[in-house]
Structure 1
Amino acid sequence: MLHKLTNLRAAVLLGSLLIGSSPALAEAVLHRGNAGEPQTLDQAHTSINIEEFILKDLYEGLTIYDAAGKIVPGVAESWTVSDDGSVYTFKLRADAKWSDGSPVTANDFVFSYQRVEDPATAAGYANILYPIKNAEKVNKGEAKPEELGVKAIDDKTVEITLERPTPFFLELLAHQTALPVSKASVEKNGADFVKPGVMVSNGAFKLVAHVPNDSLTVEKNPSYWDAANVKLDKVIFYPIDDQAASVRRFEAKEMDLVYNFSADQIDRLKQSYGEQVHVSPTLATYYYVFDTRQEPYSDVRVRRALSMAVDRDFLADEIYSGSQIPAYSMVPPGIETYGDPAKADFADLSQLDREDKAIELMKEAGYGEGGKPLNIEIRYNTNPNHERVATAVADMWKNTFGANVSLVNLDVSSHYAYLQEGGKFNVARAGWVADYADAENFLALNVSSNKTFNYGHYENPEFDALMKKSYEERDPAARSKVMHEAETILMRDQPIAPFMAQADLWLVNNRVQGWHDNAANQHLSRFLSIAE
């Protein structure tokens, strides 16, 4: 009898081991390469997509982007808009909860939006919510946070009143700045609310571990309203700004996704991995910005000359292997409500003619050969592609003007923190990816009142007045015309030199299911799964 019982126990144990090792029950883990270490996990202080990719897995706004990059309901299951387009009323999902099991309420959104606009928070992206009534006044200390046009009608109804009708408002609400925070958690934990084991989030995942410069781990949030349809158990983000290392880890099957690999590897990778290599056109501009606060970059002739001397075709074709498009406008092509962007007046000249005119302008300004020495420092964020661009541009400026050019690089978070905090520089690399599909998102970067993203501190009252007029214009065609006039001035003054309209470069392992290339570059992990 004892022998039979022993055999029975052994059989049960063997069966449980076999079940436990079944692929069907294996933990579904997505390994995501991220292009650097996040500077913050506080949505009020986020500014780059390295942080966005993580935050949108942890939190969910009133609206979100689906797998195809389209705006769909998020925490808000539905909404209505007043006849004049100035009042939005959102109905929150009855089963929307925070990761601690408490309900997501309208007051959480009121608190979150007031927190972003409160000048004490010093949110760098507060202007994203400026279309909300009194938002700009609150942010500038001219009104109290409670005067912001966001109200909780009841626990599950949020009413938002705008300064004026804003066609892209639903897209603004899907931005990481508009992600909610738990009022109870922030009030209890203060700045520590972002830490693993403390963070309370309402998205498909919750933060469980963060080892800076090594990995960040999120796990499926069982309290999420749509948890039944979330197929991943865990997502591990790896902050790697070494693109060669990222590719090696992808090839070793250590990472399923790699973002922004070195463009000179496109052909080799396509030969080896075929459709796992994704080159996806996006609404993004690669540009250099001049610090207009100091000479010689305060001189429009110098800025124009430097911009004209850059061979954009070489950058796009040779450095980026044709994956980028030469650009002569700040607004990229592809925005339906805007049409063809307003290009710089030298866009249609040959490169030789541009260089001849550039030399004339530089001499007129008194710099270059025969004039004052031209010493230029180019700053860029660490990345092989950016290094190659900077090296090429340096050679172009040396050959055309006899300039002495040096290069300085920082990691991505430090680079942008330096620019956003007003650090002085000569010339700096920057890129802008659309927060929403509207030309305003690109042009507003250079409004003089934009203290965060107007890196070069450009000031032109005529440009500012046109942008202000565009906000007040309700007719779409007339509004587009005004913004084209503004971009014409921007391209005339060249406080920024657009080089390329960008494409997103991704490596996506075949085992990743649910991936869709999209111009918004939105790839929430909740829409992805793993096929073993």
Structure 2
Amino acid sequence: MKVFRRRMAPIILVSSVSLGLLSMTGCGSSTTSTPAATVNKPEHGGTIIQALGPLVAINWYLPLRPVAYNSLYDAWAASLMYKGLFHIAPNGTIDFGRSIASAITWNKEGTVYTVKMNPKWKWSNGSPVTAEDVQFTWNLIKAASAPTAPAPWPYAGADSGGVPQLIKSFQVLGTHEFQITLTNPVNQTWFEYNGLGDFIPLPEQAWNRYPNNINLELSYLASNGNNVNFFKVIDGPFRLTSAVQNVSWTFTPNKHYDGHLPYVNKFVLAYQTSETSEVNALKTGGVQVGYLPLSMYSVRSQLPHDTLNTSYSYSIDRTILNFKSPQVGNIFRSLPVRQAMQMGIDQTAIIQSLYNGMGVPGTGPVPLHPRTFLAPQLIKPIYSYDPEKGKQLLEKNGWHLVHGIMTNNAGQQLSFNMQYDSGSSTVLAMVQIMQQDWAKEGIHVSLSPLPFASMLQYHHQPTKWEIQTGLGWSYGGSYPTGGGMYSTGGGYNFYGYSNSKMNSLIAATHSPQPSPADSQKALDAYQMFAAQQLPNLWMPVPQGLGEIENNIHGVRSSANNFTDAISPQYWWVSQ
């Protein structure tokens, strides 16, 4: 799971609220505009430049990420150089033909998982990708998830798939086979996707400088997290050859890649100073793969050489409340306060006025598109926009207006600061709507724009923020349980939400069930409780608008809305 900054028109994204294109992963639903003549045979050569979101930079290239660097864009950079253990297809199934793992089996109790690896995969230096490399990853994850891990750790994925706390042992069975034993039975599908998915093979022989001191090793790797020259031994389709901060990140083909070799000579992820500059780059050809902010949808007619693709990625948008804040955390722990705040968010108005009607309301922790795992009761929000009802709820729970601001008998006020992503004019318009509507309930909110990277950096600094919005959450191909986000102490529960019933319901989604229907029943119970309890505030999700130059091919056909991954090794340029 990853946080993203959506490209909005006004949007945000890993997980953000900007609206627009949630990366190019979502190019594939519907298409408008007349593409160039069909070219059947891929051509080699050329450069493809893809736009990042406004003011979004890539700051971390390691496949293992701390919370502060757990963005979708950091994950893109890593995934171009390092293959995951398995490849998840757009339909949500594992494609072993494109995976390092050739087979995954488990015992009937769901406690022992055996993974066989395809011996064809090699590192760029010619060494085979082995089970020892996966064991190296396991040792890093285990140490990076511990309380004693050095900064900037802990590991962002801690606990999201039962890793590392449920793992009893890791055993290398052979050069290309390993076995993981768990402490207790679990839902096998959940562990396969959310647990084993963390075990990205890393080049142990090249990277393991401190084999007898794992914390020194973690510090060593972190010190090279954004060092381009460190990433020489790779097993993915591209290598990072140049990184100019706040300008561009250039990738060239890994000629020793054992999968589908890239067609292009260069693939570039380009920094954008604003939504307007990105659209101008589309007009001039400075960007070939980009996005159209929803707030600039009227500009579509000025892009005759591009094809527009609309889609939804498998993600949610949310406004995050800081339960750890020494100033206001105890206020946010009051459910009536959270309910009133949710009733004060006019999702319909945001969708209609800011997203040109191209969006869906946020209803809970499971995305509405596709509805594969969605509880049927959550097609619509539990809490409708009703600021008067929200005001009455606050008054019933000990709050009363003093100079226009809700105040309780202890003198506390519903007065907060909300940080938002500064890269999107749509997000700015959205937070202004929220500010005005909350004022109708007696909730005063001041607004602070921040760069996307700064918002992420504050996540483990409880004194630095109270509310954050403009961030999205991508499930990235995982089973949509909330262990990492909403369980007490979860790896991405940096905001300190804690509820014993929530913990139990999440645990039930991780437990073995007698049938798929029973598994869905457990997932429904969790998401219904989360939707009602509001561990964060649910926000509308905009449709992504992707723009692809007509002489660029393979983007739509290789798109994966389920994982939000990109596969530019399949993209090519027609002359």
TM-score (norm 1): 0.83
Give the Cα–Cα distance (whole angstroms) in 2 for the partners of residues 72 and 307 of structure 1: 40
Cα deviation 1:316-338 (Å, max 9, x = unaligned)? 12111122101222222224244
Deviates more, 1:384-393 or 1:496-505: 496-505
8 Å contact from structure 1 (residues 206, 221) kept in 2: yes
Match of 1:82 in 2: 106
- CA 1:179/1:345 → structure 2, altered by over 3 Å: closer, same or farther? closer
Partner of 1:197: helix, strand, or coil? helix
Match of 2:80 in 1: 57
User: Do structure 1's residue 426 and structure 2's residue 469 form an aligned pair?
Assistant: no
Q: Which AA in structure 1 matches 2:207?
A: V
Match of 2:207 in 1: 186
Match of 2:548 in 1: 508
Q: Which AA in structure 2 matches 1:395?
A: Q
8 Å contact from structure 2 (residues 107, 113) kept in 1: no
Deviation at 1:502, TM superposition (A): 4.2
Partner of 1:463: helix, strand, or coil? helix
Pick aligned residue for 2:52 from 17, 26, 34: 34
Q: Which AA in structure 2 matches 1:329?
A: G
Deviation at 1:50, TM superposition (A): 0.9
Gaps of 5+ in 1: 1-23, 139-146
Map 1:1-40; keep pairs closer than 5 Å.
27-35=45-53, 36-40=56-60
Give the Cα–Cα distance (whole angstroms) in 1 for the partners of residues 181 and 264 of structure 2: 37
Of the two, which has the highest radius of gyration?
Answer: 1
Cα deviation 1:117-156 (Å, max 9, x = unaligned)? 2223634323367446xx2167xxxxxxxx643x322222
Match of 1:290 in 2: 321
Partner of 2:132: helix, strand, or coil? helix
User: Do structure 1's residue 320 and structure 2's residue 351 form an aligned pair?
Assistant: no
Give the Cα–Cα distance (whole angstroms) in 1 for the partners of residues 453 and 175 of structure 2: 38
Partner of 2:538: helix, strand, or coil? strand
Partner of 1:505: helix, strand, or coil? strand
Aligned length: 488
Q: Which AA in structure 1 matches 2:258?
A: W
8 Å contact from structure 2 (residues 322, 467) kept in 1: yes
User: Do structure 1's residue 126 and structure 2's residue 157 form an aligned pair?
Assistant: yes
Partner of 1:474: helix, strand, or coil? coil
User: Do structure 1's residue 158 and structure 2's residue 178 form an aligned pair?
Assistant: yes
- CA 1:56/1:101 → structure 2, altered by over 3 Å: closer, same or farther? same
Q: Which AA in structure 2 matches 1:393?
A: M
Pick aligned residue for 1:226 from 237, 244, 259: 259
User: Do structure 1's residue 519 and structure 2's residue 542 form an aligned pair?
Assistant: no
Match of 1:249 in 2: 281
Give the Cα–Cα distance (whole angstroms) in 2 for the partners of residues 436 and 63 of structure 1: 11
Deviates more, 1:263-272 or 1:355-364: 263-272
Pick aligned residue for 1:198 from 208, 213, 230: 230
Match of 2:71 in 1: 48
8 Å contact from structure 1 (residues 98, 104) kept in 2: yes
Match of 2:128 in 1: 103
Give the Cα–Cα distance (whole angstroms) in 2 for the partners of residues 345 and 322 of structure 1: 17
User: Do structure 1's residue 340 and structure 2's residue 373 form an aligned pair?
Assistant: no
Give the Cα–Cα distance (whole angstroms) in 2 for the partners of residues 31 and 345 of structure 1: 39
Match of 1:276 in 2: 307
Structure in which a larger fraction of residues adopt helix:
1
Match of 1:143 in 2: none
Match of 1:19 in 2: none
Partner of 1:110: helix, strand, or coil? helix
8 Å contact from structure 1 (residues 106, 152) kept in 2: yes
Q: Which AA in structure 2 matches 1:53?
A: W
Give the Cα–Cα distance (whole angstroms) in 2 for the partners of residues 499 and 129 of structure 1: 22
Partner of 1:254: helix, strand, or coil? coil
Partner of 1:401: helix, strand, or coil? coil
Give the Cα–Cα distance (whole angstroms) in 2 for the partners of residues 278 and 117 of structure 1: 41
- CA 1:274/1:359 → structure 2, altered by over 3 Å: closer, same or farther? farther
Cα deviation 1:166-221 (Å, max 9, x = unaligned)? 2144544785x543221122224933554223312110011211111111111111
Gaps of 5+ in 2: 1-41, 210-216, 408-412
TM-score (norm 2): 0.77
Partner of 2:427: helix, strand, or coil? helix
Give the Cα–Cα distance (whole angstroms) in 2 for the partners of residues 77 and 483 of structure 1: 28
Deviates more, 1:192-201 or 1:493-502: 192-201
Give the Cα–Cα distance (whole angstroms) in 2 for the partners of residues 128 and 505 of structure 1: 33
Pick aligned residue for 1:394 from 420, 435, 441: 435
Give the Cα–Cα distance (whole angstroms) in 1 for the partners of residues 400 and 548 of structure 2: 48
Pick aligned residue for 2:513 from 474, 499, 507: 474
Match of 1:11 in 2: none
Give the Cα–Cα distance (whole angstroms) in 2 for the partners of residues 52 and 345 of structure 1: 31
8 Å contact from structure 1 (residues 69, 518) kept in 2: no
User: Do structure 1's residue 462 and structure 2's residue 498 form an aligned pair?
Assistant: no
CA root-mean-square deviation: 2.9
Give the Cα–Cα distance (whole angstroms) in 2 for the partners of residues 220 and 359 of structure 1: 58
Give the Cα–Cα distance (whole angstroms) in 2 for the partners of residues 80 and 94 of structure 1: 15
Deviates more, 1:468-477 or 1:247-256: 468-477
- CA 1:346/1:467 → structure 2, altered by over 3 Å: closer, same or farther? closer
- CA 1:345/1:96 → structure 2, altered by over 3 Å: closer, same or farther? closer
Deviates more, 1:488-497 or 1:60-69: 60-69
Match of 1:20 in 2: none
8 Å contact from structure 1 (residues 284, 502) kept in 2: no
Give the Cα–Cα distance (whole angstroms) in 2 for the partners of residues 87 and 274 of structure 1: 53
- CA 1:371/1:457 → structure 2, altered by over 3 Å: closer, same or farther? same
8 Å contact from structure 2 (residues 382, 531) kept in 1: no
- CA 1:421/1:223 → structure 2, altered by over 3 Å: closer, same or farther? farther
Q: Which AA in structure 1 matches 2:497?
A: Y
User: Do structure 1's residue 207 and structure 2's residue 227 form an aligned pair?
Assistant: no
8 Å contact from structure 2 (residues 283, 303) kept in 1: no
- CA 1:241/1:511 → structure 2, altered by over 3 Å: closer, same or farther? same
Greater relative contact order structure (CA < 8 Å, 6+ sep): 2
Identity over aligned pairs, percent: 16
Match of 1:484 in 2: 524
Pick aligned residue for 1:376 from 408, 416, 426: 416
Q: Which AA in structure 2 matches 1:301?
A: P
Partner of 1:42: helix, strand, or coil? coil
- CA 1:169/1:297 → structure 2, altered by over 3 Å: closer, same or farther? closer
